[in-house]
Structure 1
């Protein structure tokens, strides 16, 4: 199996359909989250909606680069979620994450393994491999947070 194929598999596992590492994924964890759960703040923790926006912000940013665009995302904007006030707005955010994740996986599938060693936009960002691997690790980190927040909300 090529390295790109392995990365696509890992990305899909954490975002869309996997159970191997965390015994869950974003799609499964978020599928039954209500507006109230998504927007309830517990102490200083981010809300589920905020974490959903945050992870999609980075995925969409990488999709833009994969499609030949510029790297337009900035860390300082990665939590700039407008207030979500309806179930429809929450579902729109969730669907955006799933659509962008599928697009990311499909674009990654088409990438040749040789691209993984190339510089990602600027040398300070490292290689494509480093950024794709980082995206997967970042997603697992926030998946764990979402899972714990859901458990806290259920108690």
Structure 2
């Protein structure tokens, strides 16, 4: 469980509270961000809101598996979300994002080393550990995009 706790905390750092890798995290970048900035397109890039929703989509989908459900997420749907059209919509989404992140981390920290090394849903997806670590890496990839887009929008 020591390995699981370490991985769960690394995941939390990406989204909720870390500064070690990127000197920031999703919560730091998004919590006080005006919704209009979050949904503002720049060139042909995804918006900040879409990138955050994309990461949440995968967290939610994996949480469903952790709860004993099926793996229903599909890459082709990972950017299809209802528009955010108010600060209230944005704040509601962020609360769901933070809660899903904590739920994910809580599931991970309860995993034994044996569970971490088991196949995730199907052998073709690799182990639970591989998929959890992929979420951390995927999270940092899009966090970097969010930071750059936010700078372009707020410091023209």
Number of the residue aligned with 1:48: 48
State yes or no: 1:136 paired with 2:146.
no
Indicate conservation of the 8 Å contact 2:14/2:140, yes or no.
Answer: yes
Offset from partner CA, 1:2-56 (integer Å, 9 cap, x none): 2211101110111111110001111111012111101000011100110111000
Number of the residue aligned with 2:92: 92
CA separation in 2, counterparts of 1:119 and 1:95? 31
Instruction: Please give the TM-score of this superposition, normalised by the length of structure 1.
Output: 0.97
State yes or no: 1:4 paired with 2:1.
no
Point out where structure 2 has 5 or more consecutive residues left out of the alignment: none
Number of the residue aligned with 1:15: 15
Count of matched residue positions in the alignment of Structure 1 and Structure 2: 155
Tell me how large the CA RMSD over aligned residues is: 1.0
Indicate conservation of the 8 Å contact 1:14/1:139, yes or no.
Answer: yes
Instruction: Please give the TM-score of this superposition, normalised by the length of structure 2.
Output: 0.96
Question: Runs of 4 or more off by more than 3 Å in structure 1?
Answer: none
CA separation in 2, counterparts of 1:134 and 1:13? 14
